[in-house]
Structure 1
Amino acid sequence: MDQAPVWLRRRSTGVGRPAERSQEEVTAAAIELADLDGLVAVSMRGVAGRLGTGAASLYRYVSGRDDLLDLMIDEVAAGYELPPPTGPWLPGLVEVGRQARALMLRHPWLPELVLTRPVIGPHGVDLLEHVLALLADHPAAPARKLEAFAVMNATTAAFALNELGAAERPAHGAGDAVRAARPARAAGRPDAYLAHAMAAGGHPHLTAALAGMTPTAVNSGDRFESVLADVLTGLLGPA
């Protein structure tokens, strides 16, 4: 099997009738399926069913599920707005993180893949180039700048997973109704136990840390940008 990234492989022309689909259509169908029913629903058979074709026909465009996942990750990265850098590096990087968080909340399957399946395709290369352009005048070594990119992605994915209530996801996707109900269900249970632990005593440091904070604030994304700025500043130095 060709181990080159999917974007560098020559697409199979197959035999018989001309191809009726495109790799872009296959990718879009996989994303729609994941948005609706989660990553568990993304399979060659599932995507083919959404396209109204047979699973065997997809092998003209991808070699298997791994290709689908790689293409999905990169296609979502097309959603970034990447204007030429015009100001200080830190606000620019935080803006990239803000956009990343928005994309991850829009596609709840994405944070898991960002953390477990690092892949860079054409749109990902554009994003990395933008981040390095923001840091062009920064004195940090190139390796440290690349580390900052990776840490920014991981931090953003962790925040998004927390907001999405990843631990509360059902094993199998159940469509929009389940996804709509998930945030309310996920938000209550961990916070309720925090309140119980504080009331029971015996955790003075935790009680002091959470004093004056509402339970919702502990798990919300309200502080995302300030935390990300702190992480990046700690890694790269003051802005």
Structure 2
Amino acid sequence: MYTDEERPGRPGSIWLRKERAGRGPAPVHDRAGITAAAIGLADDGGLDAVTMRKVAAAIGSGATALYRYVERRDELLELMLDAALDELRFPALTGDARADLLAVARELRTVCRRHPWLLDLLQARPPMTPRVAAYLEYALAAMQHVDAPGRAKLEAAATVTGMVAMVVRTELGSAAPTREREAAQAEYLREVVAGGGHPHLAEVVRSSPPGPGDDDLLGRLLPRVLAGLLGGPEPRTPEAR
């Protein structure tokens, strides 16, 4: 005799299973509450702070009871990813694929800055969840008139998330540098360039001298990358220069 958990053909995806399998007393908790507790732990201490034991403690349960709702930590991470992406707002489509992808990238950037642990899940291969599917649907709708294979469009969508994660890591890692630090870096760069051993670097510095921290790295880089992936001329808008 099989239990609900062991029966043949039982879905492996948490999204295809009932909230709580098996017989017994009525559920005390639900996925939404468990996920919220896990996100609270991650917001405070990163993904390393999210263990089944700690999440169970946060909802006032035992770890054994938690497994009735979530079978393993990977499923919990899926729930967290999906819940965080529920904060993502999809801008209205304009018909300009690169502009629309840049717009949703900026929305995703906001969510990632709110939940930095999300970067680890996005830079790995994200699992398929309802809101990951919604993001892909939006991206493909933005590219519906682009003459490119479906695989290239999926790669472009994945590139958007990867670049957002890279940019947010850069922003968070270099937040609020001190004036002394910036001055020291500029001083060393001038010395390197003046030495004559780095002519290509010297030319770039002469033509584009470094300025204060860039507050729109995503807007400058992503359109160029998308131009390479999807074809067409490189964008010449002020944002993309």
**TM-score when scaled to structure 1?**
0.80
Closer, same or farther: CA 208–112 of 1 in aligned 2, 3 Å: farther
Shift in CA distance, 238/183, structure 1 to aligned 2, threshold 3 Å: same
The partner residue of 2:141 within 109, 128, 133 is 133
Count matched residues: 220
Counterpart selection for 2:132 from 101, 124, 132: 124
AA matched with 2:230: L
Higher RCO (CA < 8 A, seq sep 6+) = 1
Aligned-residue CA RMSD (Å):
2.8
Letter in 2 for 1:222: D
Larger radius of gyration: 2
Question: 1:127-174 CA distances to partner (integer Å, 9 max, x unpaired)?
Answer: 111111111111111111011011111111111111121xxxxxxxxx
1:72 aligns with 80
- List runs of 5+ in structure 1 lacking aligned partners: 166-181
> Matches of 1:41 and 1:187 in 2, distance apart?
34
Amino acid at match of 2:188: H
One-letter amino acid of the structure 2 residue matched with residue 237 of structure 1: G
Consecutive unaligned residues of structure 2, counting only runs of 5 or more, are: 1-5, 234-241
Deviation at 1:111, TM superposition (A): 1.1
Distance 1:188 1:146 in 2: 43
Q: Distance in 2 between matches of 1:55 and 1:144?
A: 43
2:228 is matched with: 234
Q: Tell me by how many angstroms 1:61 deviates.
A: 1.4
Distance 1:44 1:190 in 2: 43
Distance (Å, rounded) in 2 between the aligned partners of 1:56 and 1:190: 52
Q: CA contact under 8 A between 1:198 and 1:206: conserved in structure 2?
A: no
Q: Could you say which structure has the higher helix fraction?
A: 1
2:201 aligns with: 206
Q: Distance in 1 between matches of 2:123 and 2:151?
A: 20
Letter of the 1:90 partner, please give it.
R
